[in-house]
Structures are given as structure tokens and as C-alpha cells.
Structure 1
Amino acid sequence: MVATAAVATGCGGADAVARSAPTPVPAPPPQPLTWQQELRVGDALQHLVRQCMNRHGFEYWEDRVLTLRESRPVGYVRDDVEWARTYGYGSRIDAKYERYRARNPNGAYRESLPEARRTAFDTALDGGDQARILTTRLPAGGEIRKRLGGCTEEAERKLYGDPDEWFRTRKVAEGLPSLYGEELMKDRQLTAALGAWSRCMRGAGHPYADPPAARDGALALSFAAEREIAVADASCARSMSLRQATAARERSFQDRLRPRYGSEVDAQRRLAQRAYDRAVRIVPERS
């Protein structure tokens, strides 16, 4: 009776209710952008730079020479069989982009300007000689610098809000693999997964130790041979779930670094998501 009354009335009841309330679940850390989202942010950045350069009286061309499908990055693990069947390891895509770079319209336009206008073009684009120099330390040691000013700074500010913080946190996030890359490639679970992939490739007639070796070997051959090896590579990677195994092992190494670098990584991902949310209102996704 007394215990029941204590729960129902007075301070004791309030304490009991408070103790029984569920503990708030912390929000999960922000996730990185997909490569499609990153590409759209890059397109938005170029679009904003072009608008700014036009306001300064200069022409500026956006680089959208590759389609969305052609822009897919060729990473360590490739398990898209249909992409491999069409593009192999992307050698013809690389050649297409190199042809574009050789006749880059922005470079040609800049060179066509008189010297004074060329200097003004550089100042408008990135601040020229008066640009700020950003400096940040890398996780593995050393420093990296970046010139920032002009339309480039304006575009980054519109997308990320704080280009200085974006530069710092991005370089930290990008530099983390240098702290664990060697150890990751010796990881027993990863080497076991790579061994299964290698046996699968050997059974398909392509004796390669790992995906980079397959890619390097294929790129020295004809395009038909490149596609054949790339299809086998992607098929074996998919059947062995190599992408998932690699990602899981890499996350385990990244998790060890969270106590030291987690705040920078989370900040970088939040800034990237902010930029993407703004990018979708600026440019469409590539077709």
C-alpha cells in the first residue's frame, strides 16, 4: 500500500516516472555523399563560377563533357557488370576526356586575351596574386595549401557556407586513408576476400592477384580484351561480395580514428550535404 502510494503521488512518483523514461538515442553520424551527389555539387560549383565570371565580363565554359554513366568512378572494387560490358575499365572514357582537356575552351579563351585582360581574368577567377592562401595540416603530417579568391571563393561560399572550414575538414577526411591504408591491405579478412576473388578470376582464365593488377593488365591490351577482363572482374567481385567486404573492413579502421578525427569528418559530411541540398536547386543531374 505505501509503495503504491509513493508511485502515485508526491516527489517519489515523479522520480519513478523520470527513471522509466526512455534514454534518447543519439543521432547517427552524417553519411558521405554518393559519387552522383558529389558530381552534382561539382557541376553546381562550375555553374556558379560561370555566372560570376560572366558578371565580370568574361566567358566561361562548364565542363559537362561526360554523361552521368561515363562519370562513374573506377574504384578499387568494380562490381557493375553491365558498366564493365560497355566501358571495360573506362579507357575510352579517359581518352574522350583527355581530348576535351587538350582543347579546353577556358584555357584557349584565356590565352586569346590581351595580357591586361588575362590578368583581370585570373583575378576574377581565383583572386590572382591577391588571393588568400589557405593552409591546413594533413593527418599523416605536412601541410597543404590552396589559393582562394574571386569567383571560386564566391561559388564555394554559396555552396558550403564557409570555404575555409570546407578546405580544412575535406583535407582531413581525404587524408585518413594514409593512416590505415597499408594495414588495411594486410587485414586477414580482406586478404581472404581478395583470395576468393583471385581464385574466381583464375577460374575465368585471368590469373590476377587483385583488382588493380587486373585493371593494369587489361589496359595494356585491346579494348575487347579490356572489356572481357573487366566483366570477369566485376562478376567475381559481385559473386564474392567483395565491395561489401572491403567497405566493412575499411569502416572498422575508420572507426578506430573517430575519437581523434570524428568531429572533422562529421563536419566535412555536413558541409557536403549542405552543398548538395543547394546544388539540386542550381543544376539538374547529368543525363
Structure 2
Amino acid sequence: MAGVLALSACGTSATDEDATRAELTGLELDLLTRSGTFTRTNVDLANAESKLISACMKAKGFRYRAEVSAPTTESDEELSLNRAERHERGYGLASQYDSEKDAVGKGTNDAYVAGLSKKNADAYAEALRGGATDFREMRLGGGRNITFSARGCEARSRTSLYGSLDDWVSVSYFPQNLNSELGPRVEKSPKYRRAMAEWRTCMRGKGYTYASPDAAYDQLKAAYRARGVTAASRDREIAVAVADGDCAAEVHVPSTVLALRRAYAQSLPTADKLQLRRLTAIWKTAADKVR
């Protein structure tokens, strides 16, 4: 591995006084909680990155089909619940434990690579992500490390958008890591506990007695591990996931959680607020480039 970096709040001209005096802005909270303007901005950036990778790979003699997604009009709560997906796949657990493997090369680019000789497929992989010695690691804190390649068309495209790979990986992962640290505070909140009590009442009305959505997920997962995947277990998973989503929508669990996260973020440590402020500026600059 070529190098290991530790992410810190260095590299900003803001002072500690600035961070403690001013509240985090709406844009900073959007990046932190992946809500509000985040979804549209994330789609724009992902589309731009895919197009850059496609052009880079073409210059190296390979075909790469850019994946372009349309922005969604769904609300944060609708996106969080993803009820259409629940009706089709439940929590997506069955596919993880199904003994039948998915066919190789379903995606357009995967199908292209599957048709190459081993020599050309290896060259394609190196053009896209570099070689085995090109990977680096960044430590985000809390025991979480991110590994990424410093070479290849993916790295070049991300550097073009964000200015450096360090900034790309920081924007992509540091806010998520920080947001996850707010979880315990959210779960202790009286508002959250009331919402979950209402969720349990709703679920009992549908015939389920799970303590929480996580408990439902974990119990279904344990059943798959113990007994494998059957038609009945798939049906059970979908039924529970749909009921969970319907009850969460009825009592607005996702909206409650999001409001609490955005509120608690204002009391984050100074160093974290400074880093989030710096990364939001980088994120906005990258988004402005592609619009």
C-alpha cells in the first residue's frame, strides 16, 4: 500500500472562534446528513465523474459506458423509506444469502469486460483503477479506514472534480462518519423514543412485534443465516419491510431522525465543524464546475 493518511481538521483558515460562534449552514447540514440539496448535487457530481471516466478510458483504447442518472423529485423521507424497493426486494437480504449466484456481467461495462481476453481485461482494470501497488488508505477515526486507488481513470476524474484525491475521499466519507456519530444522541432523544413507540404500536396492528426496524432486519438476517433462503422467507422479508416502511411513513420516523440529526450537529466539536465547513466549500466548488 502506497500510503496511509489520517483525516484531520487542518487546512482551513477559519478560526475556532468562527466555528463556535456561527451555526452550521443549511448547505453544511445537507452534506453532513445527506439531505436537502445533497441528493441533486450528488447526482450531478456522479454523472460528471462517470462522463470523465468514460472519456479517459476511451483515450486509453477501452469502451466505458457513462452511467447517467436523472435527479429525483422525492422528498428526503420518501428517499429514506424507498417503499417501491421494499415491495420488490424487502430489505434486500434474500439476495445476500441466496445460493444461486447472479449472472456475471449484467451491467453494460461488466459485459464488455467479460468479453475481453484476460490480458485485455487486466489492462482495462489497470487503466480504470491502477495496479495493486497504487492503493492508499485514509483513516477517518472511529476505527474506519477507506482504501482507494491513486491512479487510473477513476482517480484522474475525481482529482479533476475535487482538486485532489484526498479532498474527494474526505468529502465522500468524512461527513458520513460524522453523521453516524450523532446516532446515539438521536436514539436517546424523547422525540425519537416517542416516534419509535408509535412505530411499534403501528407494527403490532399489522401483526409484528419487533422492537425497532433494526431488530426486524437483524432477526430476518439471522433466520436466513440459520435456514437459508426459501420462498416463504422471501415473502416474510418483503411483508415485514413493507409494514416497517408504511409505519415509519405514518409516524414520520425518517423526518424525526433527520430533524434531530440536523439539530444535534450544531453542537459538534469545533474541529469537526471546521472540517465540515472546509469540505462543504470543496463540494460546492465541484458542483458549480459541472452545472
**Structure-2 residue corresponding to 1:5:** none
Q: CA deviation at 1:50?
A: 1.4
- Partner SS state of residue 138, structure 1: strand
**Structure-1 residue corresponding to 2:25:** 28
**Structure-1 residue corresponding to 2:54:** 50
**Structure-2 residue corresponding to 1:89:** 90
* Distance (Å, rounded) in 2 between the aligned partners of 1:75 and 1:147: 34
Residue 245, structure 1, aligned to residue 245, structure 2: no
**Do the aligned partners of residues 208 and 261 (structure 1) sit closer, same or farther apart at CA in structure 2, a change above 3 Å counting?**
same
- Partner SS state of residue 141, structure 2: coil
Residue 208, structure 1, aligned to residue 205, structure 2: no
Aligned residues: 248
In structure 2, stretches of 5+ residues that fail to align are: 1-21, 32-36, 225-231
- Partner SS state of residue 46, structure 2: helix
Cα deviation code 1:46-76 (max 9, x no counterpart) = 2211111011111223456x9877x999999
The answer (yes or no) to whether the contact 2:77–2:254 under 8 Å persists in 1 is no
AA aligned opposite 1:122: A
Within 5 A, what are the aligned runs for 1:68-87? 78=81, 83=84, 86-87=87-88
**Do the aligned partners of residues 151 and 67 (structure 1) sit closer, same or farther apart at CA in structure 2, a change above 3 Å counting?**
same
- Partner SS state of residue 232, structure 1: helix
* Distance (Å, rounded) in 2 between the aligned partners of 1:77 and 1:237: 10
**Do the aligned partners of residues 87 and 273 (structure 1) sit closer, same or farther apart at CA in structure 2, a change above 3 Å counting?**
farther
**Do the aligned partners of residues 196 and 27 (structure 1) sit closer, same or farther apart at CA in structure 2, a change above 3 Å counting?**
closer
**Structure-1 residue corresponding to 2:175:** 173
**Structure-2 residue corresponding to 1:18:** none
Within 5 A, what are the aligned runs for 1:128-143? 128=131, 131=134, 133-141=135-143, 143=145
* Distance (Å, rounded) in 2 between the aligned partners of 1:75 and 1:94: 23
Q: CA deviation at 1:246?
A: 1.0
Query: Which protein is bigger by CA-based radius of gyration?
Result: 1
Within 5 A, what are the aligned runs for 1:1-287? 28-30=25-27, 31-32=30-31, 33-63=37-67, 78=81, 83=84, 86-87=87-88, 89=90, 91=92, 99=102, 102-104=105-107, 106-107=109-110, 109-110=112-113, 112-113=116-117, 115=119, 117-128=120-131, 131=134, 133-141=135-143, 143-215=145-217, 221=232, 226-280=237-291
Cα deviation code 1:135-186 (max 9, x no counterpart) = 4331324654322212112211232233322213433222224534345434
The answer (yes or no) to whether the contact 1:190–1:245 under 8 Å persists in 2 is yes
The answer (yes or no) to whether the contact 1:173–1:265 under 8 Å persists in 2 is yes
AA aligned opposite 1:50: S
TM-score (structure 2 length as normaliser): 0.65
AA aligned opposite 2:249: R
Deviates more, 1:192-201 or 1:173-182: 173-182
Cα deviation code 1:23-48 (max 9, x no counterpart) = xx989352324335424422332221
**Do the aligned partners of residues 199 and 38 (structure 1) sit closer, same or farther apart at CA in structure 2, a change above 3 Å counting?**
same
The answer (yes or no) to whether the contact 2:45–2:290 under 8 Å persists in 1 is yes
TM-score (structure 1 length as normaliser): 0.66
* Distance (Å, rounded) in 1 between the aligned partners of 2:265 and 2:55: 39
Q: CA deviation at 1:108?
A: 5.5
AA aligned opposite 2:281: R
- Partner SS state of residue 147, structure 2: strand
The answer (yes or no) to whether the contact 1:137–1:143 under 8 Å persists in 2 is yes
AA aligned opposite 1:263: L
Deviates more, 1:35-44 or 1:201-210: 35-44
In structure 1, stretches of 5+ residues that fail to align are: 1-24, 281-287
Q: CA deviation at 1:202?
A: 0.8
The answer (yes or no) to whether the contact 2:43–2:70 under 8 Å persists in 1 is no
* Distance (Å, rounded) in 2 between the aligned partners of 1:53 and 1:76: 32
* Distance (Å, rounded) in 2 between the aligned partners of 1:51 and 1:136: 28
Q: CA deviation at 1:101?
A: 6.0
The answer (yes or no) to whether the contact 1:170–1:268 under 8 Å persists in 2 is no
Cα deviation code 1:61-114 (max 9, x no counterpart) = 3456x9877x99999962x66x3675363649979xx84765455455446235
**Do the aligned partners of residues 76 and 279 (structure 1) sit closer, same or farther apart at CA in structure 2, a change above 3 Å counting?**
closer
AA aligned opposite 1:128: G
The answer (yes or no) to whether the contact 2:24–2:273 under 8 Å persists in 1 is no
